[in-house]
């Protein structure tokens, strides 16, 4: 690689990061990554982006490309033993109130308790992915079907079911105080 190419890559990468880093982190969060783990996982995602830079097509919208990375890393994350263990830990009583908290901790807690994420947490992984892509990323059903390698009808049925469950969860959660955070994922079969 010539120096000029390296510099061009560097600049393109920085530009991509600058414009879409928050999108990547939000996507990870939407896909079930806990707030405290989002930054580390986003770091992994962007390193992977650098490694697979040869598959970047500047002529196409970058977010779907980035989302594919986020999706893979979030899936691996959800399946990891680490997360399962953490979820068990969460059944411990929350820290006593009045304990000193940093702004960062407060931010993470606020993230944790956001209604939209808590409702997303009640969806199964398949439905959650389709719902996120359609409702939050506003991607077409055709696009989603192609990306996930599933039939369009499956996209429709998952989306319909996801909408119903999401709506029910929002209603239920709005009626409850946000703490302690419910561990909806634990209840899944």
| Residues engaged in binding other proteins (CB under 8 A) | 1, 3, 5-7, 9-10, 13-14, 17-18, 21-22, 25-26, 29-30, 38-39, 42-43, 46-47, 50-55, 65, 68-69, 72, 104, 107, 111, 114-116, 134-136, 138, 141, 147, 152, 155-156, 159-160, 163, 166-167, 170
Nearer residue to other proteins within complex by CB, 166 or 185: 166
For residue 83, the minimal CB distance to other proteins (Å) is 19
Nearer residue to other proteins within complex by CB, 7 or 101: 7
Nearer residue to other proteins within complex by CB, 88 or 167: 167
Nearer residue to other proteins within complex by CB, 11 or 186: 11
For residue 107, the minimal CB distance to other proteins (Å) is 7
For residue 91, the minimal CB distance to other proteins (Å) is 26
The DSSP line for the chain is: --HHHHHHHHHHHHHHHHHHHHHHHHHHHHTT--HHHHHHHHHHHHHHHHHTGGG--TTS-HHHHHHHHHHHHHHHHHHSHHHHHHHHHTTSPPPPTT----HHHHHHHHHHH-HHHHHHHTS-HHHHHHHIIIIIS---HHHHHHHHT--HHHHHHHHHHHHHHHHHHHHHHHTS-S-SPP-HHHH--
For residue 105, the minimal CB distance to other proteins (Å) is 12
CA distance 123 to 134: 14
For residue 1, the minimal CB distance to other proteins (Å) is 5
């Amino acid at each position: 690689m010539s120096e000029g190419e390296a510099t061009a890559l560097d600049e393109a990468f920085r530009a991509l990061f600058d414009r879409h880093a928050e999108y990547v982190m939000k996507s990870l969060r939407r896909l079930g990554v806990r707030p405290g783990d989002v930054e580390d996982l986003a770091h992994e995602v962007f390193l992977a982006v650098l490694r697979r830079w040869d598959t970047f097509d500047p002529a196409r919208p970058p977010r779907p490309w980035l989302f594919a990375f986020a999706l893979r890393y979030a899936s691996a994350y959800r399946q990891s033993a680490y997360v399962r263990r953490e979820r068990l830990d969460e059944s411990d009583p929350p820290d006593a109130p009045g304990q000193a908290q940093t702004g960062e901790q407060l931010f993470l807690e606020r993230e944790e308790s956001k209604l939209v994420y808590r409702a997303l947490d009640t969806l199964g992984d398949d439905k959650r992915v389709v719902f996120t892509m359609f409702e939050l990323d506003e991607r077409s059903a055709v696009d989603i079907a192609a990306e996930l390698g599933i039939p369009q009808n499956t996209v429709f049925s998952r989306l319909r079911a996801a909408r119903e469950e999401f709506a029910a969860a929002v209603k239920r959660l709005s009626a409850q105080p946000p703490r302690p955070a419910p561990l909806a994922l634990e209840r899944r079969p």
